[in-house]
Amino acid sequence: MGVRPVSAPPRSQQPLTAVALVCSLKPSPAPSSSEMIAEHICEQLRRSAEVHTEILRCVDYAISPGVEADMGDGDEWPRIRQKLLAADILVLSTPVWVGHPSSIAQRVLERLDAELSNTDGAGRPVMVGKVAVVAVVGNEDGAHKIIADMFQGLNDIGFSIPAQGGTYWVGEAMQSTDYKDLDEVPEPVAKTTAALARNAVHLATVLRDDQYPPYQ
């Protein structure tokens, strides 16, 4: 008698997956506060529901400017895009530079804009049904505005934003202390990050089991 193939468990029983896009301007292996806060979020995601996580530092990839899914000629965005398509949760982490998100974070949003015209069999943009959260670090003002701008762009693209889906740390203005330099994470930040992870897992589970209605 032949061996009966083992079928994969239903998707609802498979672990959730998350991809963190770190939008630091510093290439690896330079220490990065943006990567550290992304790691803290991923740690909480794994603790909340054993979410499978992966962290990518975007500046390590050749991400061409443009608003297409594949800009050709050495563009490495398609590699990142495939990971996002397979994930349930996107973690977008950016530093504050002159009061704004990094240019890398803006480029990520510009490239994600292509997904508005890429639809599934039910006519939904392919990112609809996925969850996105945002983390911001810096030693100047701007965290709330950056989170608001990132949320707006991500939601337009189709991502769902959970309750309290943003976390941030902003140090004293015009000083040199970064998030990565802290001896420990301040309790309010740690609690916010943990709540973000719990809510992201909850919403991702709900959407995986009960997708948005067809657009057609």
Phi-psi region of 69 (alpha: psi -120 to 50; beta: other; left: phi over 0): alpha
- Whole-prediction pTM: 0.92
With a CB cutoff of 8 Å and minimum separation 6, the contacts of 126 are: 85, 115, 118, 119, 120, 158
pLDDT of residue 175: 82
Q: Check the CA dihedral 180-182-185-189 and report its sign.
A: negative
Give the C-alpha separation, 66 to 100, whole Å: 20
pLDDT of residue 1: 43
Give the C-alpha separation, 160 to 116, whole Å: 14
pLDDT of residue 10: 52
Mean pLDDT by 10 residues, the chain (216 residues): 47 85 97 98 95 98 96 97 98 95 98 96 96 95 95 98 98 88 96 98 97 92
Helices 33-49 and 187-209: crossing angle in degrees, nearest 10, is 60
